[in-house]
Amino acid sequence: MNSRLLMAGILSVCLAGAGQAQPAQPQSGPRQLPARTIPVPDTVSPQMRALIAQPVNPIWNVVPKTSAEWKALVAKNAAESIPAIRAMRAALHVKVEPAAIAGVKAYIVTPDVTPPANRNRLLLYFHGGGFVLRPGEAGLAEAIELAGFGHYKVISVDYRMSPDFPYPAAMDDAMAVYREALKTIKPKNIGIFGTSAGGSITLATVLRARTEGLPLPGAIAPGTPWSDMTKTGDSYFTNDGIDNVLVSNDGFWGAAALLYANGHDLKDPQLSPVYGDMHGFPPTILTSGTRDLFLSNTVRVHRKMRQAGVEAELQVFEGLSHAQYYRDITAPETIDYNSEIARFFDKHLGH
Amino acid sequence: MNSRLLMAGILSVCLAGAGQAQPAQPQSGPRQLPARTIPVPDTVSPQMRALIAQPVNPIWNVVPKTSAEWKALVAKNAAESIPAIRAMRAALHVKVEPAAIAGVKAYIVTPDVTPPANRNRLLLYFHGGGFVLRPGEAGLAEAIELAGFGHYKVISVDYRMSPDFPYPAAMDDAMAVYREALKTIKPKNIGIFGTSAGGSITLATVLRARTEGLPLPGAIAPGTPWSDMTKTGDSYFTNDGIDNVLVSNDGFWGAAALLYANGHDLKDPQLSPVYGDMHGFPPTILTSGTRDLFLSNTVRVHRKMRQAGVEAELQVFEGLSHAQYYRDITAPETIDYNSEIARFFDKHLGH
């Protein structure tokens, strides 16, 4: 109420234009913004400055028309990312072994030294990429980081993806691996994490485990989760074109959502977990960036969890677009991110 | 590194324009954005929808030219806000008594019932308004809310302000009241909170208390603190014109910063506490909104505190501009905000 009175109160005072022109906007309603230029922030590391300064990711408005076109894009993207993944693995002294767990393809990612406190703990990791990108080794980046920086054993689940295996294949694979892990590891000793689509899988796994009467994991770390596939949430609009990783929902990512849903309701909490009931969730740490198209996807889950009494933490990285926080293992932000996630699991997982 | 490879990897795939046009941007560097329209989000309460839909606060580009013009603006704004403040006081059954504490004007704000756990606790509150707005009763809103919703006794400090009393008058008043409180209340039982300029005072009080060798308070709650007065921080640019409360730094607020600093270095941690050393800070909860011009001012303090090992929590409200979280006592977001702050003080303050 103050702001309305404030506005009414200053009309008699002289106006002095200073700085950028703003359009007149006498009516209530949508915000009209003029064209503008947003500088690269100087409040981030040089490594992140370089990522933020990159042109917008040209994938954003690519919409493959056929299954073959989707697969060609996925294969080319994956092949080209492998050298960087292998370099990261070597730099962080992490061992990566392919495996099949309950029939699901996966990688067992092991640090060179596992501290005693982590010997009976296990992290399950789900990579991002719109439920279509980053099969195989291409999905390993964050698993390698948390093994290397956090000294955790991580199972990186190479879940089945679109276009051949739309929803619920990814969730079926996630649940199969989780059920298998429960056979040998105490639930309180299991952590689950993942970014973007992997953040959605992380949340949906907890929802489905509860529905199926399974014990819940000890803690989870959904990074900038794709918690709402319906383009609902303010940052889908405010950060459109500001985020240089996702750029916009209206192109590749919106198409990837429909490809994954394959006719299922996008508002089903298994696809858009922000619509799920968060009561009883384990301790959760959520991560985003101020330029992230999914900032609202992240903070909406955080608020909903807090309202449900969940011990939920939020961290938002200055200036970063979607998932940039884990993009450069030499950047202080990436080290900070991994330190926070490891600290959170250290604190909340059982021994 | 993945994103660069990703970009390189999809050039052979057909482009299909879908949704909003984005400018070609082949070069690294600043982000060029076209003119656009941002809808009012439907992920907030009806009360907050109404606030978000309001035209931009016309004060944003008012720059008074003389001391008399500043004072006229302040007086008119303050007078017009009093009825709403009094209505809030009545609605929340809170008693407000003017007082002088160590020679500083203040209000003692008391709930109708103080629970036993809070009888030996005290909150100090510093209002916002750019170190120039909201003298007297006009600065009481959040103090009344935390007394009413959180059942805390609050001292709302009516600190001296620009233009007659620039820096360090506000900080001298804050320290005088804090020192006085320490005479009768255990430091661990004292909480400090405030929004915007008041968030800056909250942080600067802890910095100065440490410098002066005083014991630190038990917990603090800086809301969207004006932690950097130099227009440094990404959301000064990304949320320019999106935030309808502050709107932009380039007008009233930038002028208010210079008026307050009165020639002092804006990067002095007493004026821009993000540049201060956060080691040893008490538990801290920070609040912002996704549209907040000060989102970066908030998350930069949060990251810096976390890196210093401070028990610091962050909450970011969906769709809200600067300080809108406390603007409507009937809105679920305002109730949620006050509940979180009260819970935080309940948890961390001594008895």
Question: What are the tens digits of pLDDT across the range B1-39?
Answer: 344 333 333 322 222 333 344 544 457 899 999 999 999
Closest chain A residue to B313, measured at CA:
A313
**CB pair distance less than 8 Å for B235 and A19:** no
pLDDT at A260: 98
What is the token pair recorded at B25?
């941007």
pLDDT at B28: 87
Expressed in percent and rounded to 5, the helix, strand and coil fractions of chain B are 40, 15, 45
Domain made up of B58-348: CATH architecture: 3-Layer(aba) Sandwich (3.40)
Note whether A151 contacts B: Cβ–Cβ < 8 A: no
How far apart CA B25 and CA B23 sit, in angstroms, is 6
Is A170 in a helix, a strand, or coil?
Answer: helix
A&B contacts, CB < 8 Å: 340
**CB pair distance less than 8 Å for A314 and B318:** no
How far apart CA A201 and CA A171 sit, in angstroms, is 7
Closest chain A residue to B238, measured at CA:
A38
What is the token pair recorded at B8?
């390189």
**CB pair distance less than 8 Å for B62 and A19:** no
The set of residues, in sequence order, having a beta carbon less than 8 Å from that of A139 and lying 6+ positions away, is A127, A129, A156, A158
Closest CA to B219 of B308, B171, B302, B285: B285
Q: b or e along B210-244 (b: 16 or more beta carbons within 10 Å of the residue's beta carbon)? A: beeebebbbbbbbbbbbbbbbbbbbbbbbbbbbbb
pLDDT at A26: 56
Q: pTM of the prediction?
A: 0.93
pLDDT at A21: 45
Look up the ipTM and state it.
0.92
For chain A, domain boundaries = 42-348
- Counted residue by residue, chain B has a size of 351
Note whether B23 and B34 are within 8 A (CB).
yes
How far apart CA A9 and CA A22 sit, in angstroms, is 20
User: For A62, which of B15, B43, B79 is closest by C-beta distance?
Assistant: B15
**CB pair distance less than 8 Å for B77 and A296:** no
Tell me which residue has tokens 């956060």.
Answer: B278
How far apart CA B89 and CA B86 sit, in angstroms, is 5
Tell me the residues of chain B between 251 and 280 that have a Cβ less than 8 Å away from chain A: 251, 254-255
The neighbouring-strand residues paired with B251 are: none
Question: Which residues of chain B fall short of a pLDDT of 50?
Answer: 1-21, 23-25
Q: Give pLDDT tens digits for B220-263.
A: 999 999 999 999 999 999 999 999 999 999 999 999 999 999 99
Q: What is the DSSP letter of B160?
A: -
Question: Which residues of chain A fall short of a pLDDT of 50?
Answer: 1-21, 23-25
Which of A4, A12, A13, A236 to mutate to test binding with chain B, by most B CBs within 10 Å of its CB?
A: A13
Query: Which amino acid belongs to residue B142?
Result: E
How far apart CA B250 and CA A12 sit, in angstroms, is 20
Q: How far is A213 from chain B, CA to nearest CA, in Å?
A: 31
Backbone angles phi, psi at A318, to 5 degrees: -55, 125
Tell me the residues of chain A between 44 and 73 that have a Cβ less than 8 Å away from chain B: 44, 50-51, 53-65, 69, 72-73
Q: Give pLDDT tens digits for B51-70.
A: 999 999 999 999 999 999 99
Which of B4, B11, B12, B13 to mutate to test binding with chain A, by most A CBs within 10 Å of its CB?
A: B13
What is the token pair recorded at A167?
């929803």
**CB pair distance less than 8 Å for A15 and B61:** yes
Is B8 in a helix, a strand, or coil?
Answer: helix
Strand arrangement of the beta sheet that strand A284-289 belongs to? A94-101, A104-111, A154-157, A122-126, A190-195, A219-223, A284-289, A312-317
Straight-line distance from the first to the last Cα atom of chain B, in angstroms, rounded to the nearest whole number: 51
User: For B62, which of A13, A43, A247 is closest by C-beta distance?
Assistant: A13
Fold that domain A42-348 belongs to in CATH: Rossmann fold (3.40.50)
Per-residue CA distances from B147 to A176, A200, B144, B153, B336 (Å): 50, 39, 5, 6, 15
Number of Cβ atoms within 10 Å of the Cβ of A212: 10
Tell me the residues of chain A between 164 and 223 that have a Cβ less than 8 Å away from chain B: none
Cα torsion through A74, A78, A80, A84, rounded to 10: 150
Note whether A296 contacts B: Cβ–Cβ < 8 A: yes
Q: How far is A13 from chain B, CA to nearest CA, in Å?
A: 7
Q: How far is B268 from chain A, CA to nearest CA, in Å?
A: 17
**CB pair distance less than 8 Å for A141 and B303:** no
Tell me the residues of chain B between 5 and 34 that have a Cβ less than 8 Å away from chain A: 5-20, 22, 25-34
Query: Which amino acid belongs to residue A286?
Result: L
What is the token pair recorded at B347?
């948890």
Note whether B120 contacts A: Cβ–Cβ < 8 A: no
User: For A39, which of B30, B40, B61 is closest by C-beta distance?
Assistant: B30
pLDDT at B15: 29
